[in-house]
Amino acid sequence: MKWLPGVSLAASAALLSWAIHALIPAIPLLTAAVALGIIVGQIPAARHPLNGVLAPGLSVASKQFMRLGIVLLGLKLSLVDILGLGWLSIVMIVAIVLLTFVGTIGLGRAFGLPGHQPLLIATGFSICGASAIGAMSGVVKAKDEETATPIALVTLCGTLAIAVLPLLWHPLGLSNEQFGQWVGASVHDVGQVVATAQIAGPAALAVAIVVKLTRVLMLAPMVAVAAGVERRKHGAAVELATRTGGAAPEAAARPPIVPLFVAGFLAAVLARTLLPVPESVLEVADWVQTALLAMALFGLGSAVRLGELVRTGWRAIIVGLLSWALIAALAYAAVQLA
């Protein structure tokens, strides 16, 4: 039961996040959860318990709860709704994700970001924000310090989008529906998309959600490819160790070809598409998924140290801002071409 204190704290934070969202609907619940985690992580008196008695539970929340939440996220996706966008729109959305992903990795490497940071920033900015970062970090076995900076950056830029994009709506000459498409294709977290697009009305919000969830669907293949790359690296390490007589990595450390939670996510998408899932089941699943992700994102946010980010992470901040500008520009160009 070592996990109980940390999970209890994460659950309390999720409830507080819900209360904040209820009082101020413009603040997405999951964004509030990440922000609360970041705030708690900056309190000097909280550092010792965060690294001690709370650590096992926060680890459970940020890893296991994250994966369960991603699986349930699949129930939001119907392939029928996605196909309703039309092939041109789908191809453009996929292109935006891939170009942003590759471009951000290139920027991260050009600025010399360490370890898995370029991959995690690229995943968060191109697909679905902090949730995607949490999913990818688990697959590539990223360290907490590698995950913390991307989480902080994608939360910052996603929150800025809620304020900045509506200011550009009319100056860019976008119709309500075009604004919804732009928001869905460029804003990171689903909650942030809702908060940004709803200002243009229900039609803009509807198209923004479908476009955004199409991007979310890209999480499965991207994570699966990353798992495959890690698997090959592990195999190469074993082969090298065998040839040189060194210590080989443990077989258990080799990642699966397709992570179990990715398979579960795809199964949930197929279930939503092919089966008559009752509305009551979808509502309960949505509530549970939101609660799990809120607890997970609080756990991830609590590992962020803003002081260290400001002192040593200026390159990551630049990469994050450039990636944010890149996906916004690509999404705007796609809207104009559609």
Rounded CA-CA distance 145/303 in Å is: 7
Alpha carbon 272 to its chain centroid, in Å, reads: 21
User: Residue 283: what pLDDT?
Assistant: 93
User: Residue 305: what pLDDT?
Assistant: 83
Distances (CA, A) of 188 to 95, 144, 251, 310, 325: 16, 21, 36, 22, 12
Contact assessment for residue 157 and residue 321, using Cβ atoms and an 8 Å cutoff: yes
Q: How many CB atoms lie within 10 A of CB 46?
A: 15
Comparing 310 with 107, the larger pLDDT belongs to 107
| Torsion sign across C-alpha atoms 111, 116, 120, 126 | positive
What is the pLDDT averaged over residues 92-107? 96
What is the model's pTM?
0.84
227 — pLDDT class (breaks 50, 70, 90): confident
What share of residues in the chain are helix, strand, coil (percent, to 5)?
80, 0, 20
- Work out the percent of the chain whose per-residue pLDDT is above 90: 57
316 — pLDDT class (breaks 50, 70, 90): very high
**Residue 2 DSSP code:** T
| Highest mean pLDDT out of 50-54, 251-255, 257-261 | 50-54
252 — pLDDT class (breaks 50, 70, 90): very low
What is the pLDDT of the chain when averaged over all its residues?
A: 88
Rounded CA-CA distance 66/276 in Å is: 26
What is the pLDDT averaged over residues 250-276? 78
User: Residue 77: what pLDDT?
Assistant: 87
- Residue-wise pLDDT for 67-96, tens only, equals 899 899 889 888 998 899 899 999 999 999
DSSP string, 115-136: TTHHHHHHHIIIIIHHHHHHHH
Residue 12 has pLDDT above 60, yes or no: yes
User: Residue 144: what pLDDT?
Assistant: 78
- Residue-wise pLDDT for 181-223, tens only, equals 999 999 988 889 988 998 999 889 999 999 999 999 898 889 8
251 — pLDDT class (breaks 50, 70, 90): very low
Alpha carbon 27 to its chain centroid, in Å, reads: 17
| Highest mean pLDDT out of 94-98, 260-264, 302-306 | 94-98
Contact assessment for residue 299 and residue 10, using Cβ atoms and an 8 Å cutoff: yes
123 — pLDDT class (breaks 50, 70, 90): very high
- Residue-wise pLDDT for 279-302, tens only, equals 999 999 999 999 999 999 999 889
Rounded CA-CA distance 221/181 in Å is: 23
